Amino acid sequence: MSDTHASEHDHGPGFKAYMVVFGALTIFTAISFLVNSGVRGGALSSTAGFTLILGVAVVKAILVGLYFMHLVVDWPRFYFLIFPAFILGAMMMVVLLPDIVIAWHHVPPGGP
């Protein structure tokens, strides 16, 4: 009976996977710092630096979400929670956008 419980709880990424992801996150953080110093030194334009750092940040966020938040294992169950949240978030933005635009047009030129 105890073997069944041990096998049920041992279906996530192992220690080696966590160490590989940690190494990747460390390397991506170093890349972000190098790109930032390249922008400050004039070797890269600010647009290119922003694009590179944003791409690195997206990759880091995906790695953290997949491995440290266990979405690699739990994605089929989590999908049914996240999909409706994205739909409701998009609907909220569409519903509130007219209020934001209308309020923006009624602000006097000198301020409130």
CA distance 21 to 84: 29
Rounded to two decimals, the pTM is 0.62
Using one digit for the tens of pLDDT, what is the confidence trace for 38-77?
999 999 999 999 999 999 999 999 999 889 888 888 877 7
Closest CA to 12 of 66, 73, 53: 73
Residues in the chain: 112
8 A C-beta contact, residue 53 and residue 35: yes
What's the pLDDT at 24? 97
